[in-house]
Amino acid sequence: MERVRDRHARTRVGPLFRWHLLSAFLLACLVLPACQLTDHTEHVEGEVTPALFPDGPSGYAETDSAALPRMLFDSTTIDMGRVSQGVLVERTFHFKNTGGNAVLIADVRGSCGCTVSKSWPREPVPPGGTGAIAVSFDSEGREGLQEKTITVVANTRPSTTVLMLRGEVIAPTKNH
C-alpha cells in the first residue's frame, strides 16, 4: 500500500515541478531583456551608422589633421550639484565642429542604465556647426557621490569622447 502511495505522490509532484520550471523560464524571458543597459533597438530612417563613415587615408602621418572633424565641447563635465534621490536629472552637452569635415555621431552610450541619451544630432554637423547631446540621470536607488560617464562615438580622432556627469544624491533621512 505504501508503494502505491509513493507512486501517486511522485506523479503529483512531477507536473507541479514542471509548472514551476516553465513559469521560471517564462519569467526569465520577460525580465532579462529589460536588464539591458541602454536600448539601441530604434532605427530611424536616415540615421547615421558606422557604414556611412568615409574611408580616410590609412596612414596617420599622411592625414591632414586640419581636414579631420573635431568636436569642441563647452565642457566635458557637468556638475549636477546635490539632487534628491529619485529625481530624474536632465542636462545637455553643447559642442562645435571646429574641424575641416562634417562630424558624424554614430552612438552615445551611458556607463550604466541610470545614465542614458537618446537625443543627439542624427545628421552630419558641418564644419563650424553646433550640436547638443542631451542626457538624463535617474537617481532612483543611488546615494552619495556619483560620477557617470557618457561615451560619444564619432568620426573624430580619437573616435570616442568621454563626457561626465557629477553630483551628489541625497537619500531621504530615516526617522527612528
pLDDT digits (tens, 9 = 90+) for 90-129: 999 999 999 999 999 999 999 888 889 879 999 999 999 9
Which superfamily does CATH assign the domain made up of 65-170 to? Immunoglobulins (2.60.40.10)
Reply yes or no on whether the pLDDT at 69 is more than 60: yes
Of 6-10, 93-97, 157-161, least confident by mean pLDDT is 6-10
DSSP 8-state assignment for residue 175: P
What Å distances lie between residue 175 and 41, 86, 124, 172, CA to CA? 43, 18, 53, 9
Reply yes or no on whether the pLDDT at 34 is more than 90: no
Distance CA 152, CA 57 (A): 22
Share the mean pLDDT of the chain. Answer: 80
Count, residues in the chain? 176
Average pLDDT over residues 162-172: 94
The whole-number pLDDT of residue 29 equals 55
More confident site: 77 or 55: 77
More confident site: 54 or 174: 174
More confident site: 74 or 13: 74
The whole-number pLDDT of residue 3 equals 55
The whole-number pLDDT of residue 54 equals 57
Distance CA 65, CA 79 (A): 32
Distance CA 155, CA 106 (A): 8
End-to-end CA distance of the chain: 60
* Grid cell in block for residue 50: 558606422
The whole-number pLDDT of residue 13 equals 54
Domain boundaries, the chain: 2-34, 65-170
Instruction: Please name which of 94, 138, 139, 156 lies closest in space to residue 119, comparing C-alpha atoms.
Output: 94
Reply yes or no on whether the pLDDT at 171 is more than 50: yes
| Amino acid identity for residue 132 in this structure | A
Residue where the block lists cell 545614465: 115
Distance CA 93, CA 149 (A): 12
The whole-number pLDDT of residue 98 equals 95
Instruction: Please name which of 133, 122, 127 lies closest in space to residue 96, comparing C-alpha atoms.
Output: 127
